C-alpha cells in the first residue's frame, strides 16, 4: 500500500509540474492532462498548483502508512 501511495503521489506531482510547464511555456501539450479538460481551462495554473501540492502531500502521507 505504501508503494502504491508513493506512486500515485509521484504521478500527481508530475502531472502538476508538466501542467505548469505547459501553462508557462506552451510545451508538453500531449503530457498535460489538465490542458485537455475544457471546464478548467481558465484556471489551469491554479489546478496545476493544487496537483503539485496534493502530490507532495500524498507522498508525505505514504510515509505514515505501515507495511
Cell of 57: 502531500
E strands present in the chain = none
Q: How far apart are CA 25 and CA 1, in angstroms?
A: 36
Q: Which three cell numbers stand for residue 66?
A: 505501515
Q: What single DSSP character describes residue 33?
A: S
Q: Match 481551462 to its residue by C-alpha cell.
A: 41
Q: What pLDDT, on a 0 to 100 scale, did the predictor assign at position 67?
A: 65
Residues 6+ apart with CB under 8 A from 46: none
Per-residue pLDDT 10s for the chain (67 aa) are 889 999 999 999 999 999 899 889 888 777 778 777 778 878 888 999 999 999 999 999 998 887 6
Amino acid at each position: 500500500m505504501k508503494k502504491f501511495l508513493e506512486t500515485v503521489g509521484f504521478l500527481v506531482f508530475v502531472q502538476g509540474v508538466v501542467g505548469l510547464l505547459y501553462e508557462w511555456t506552451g510545451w508538453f501539450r500531449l503530457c498535460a492532462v489538465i490542458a485537455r479538460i475544457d471546464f478548467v481551462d481558465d484556471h489551469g495554473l491554479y489546478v496545476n498548483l493544487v496537483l503539485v501540492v496534493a502530490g507532495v502531500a500524498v507522498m508525505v502521507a505514504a510515509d505514515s502508512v505501515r507495511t
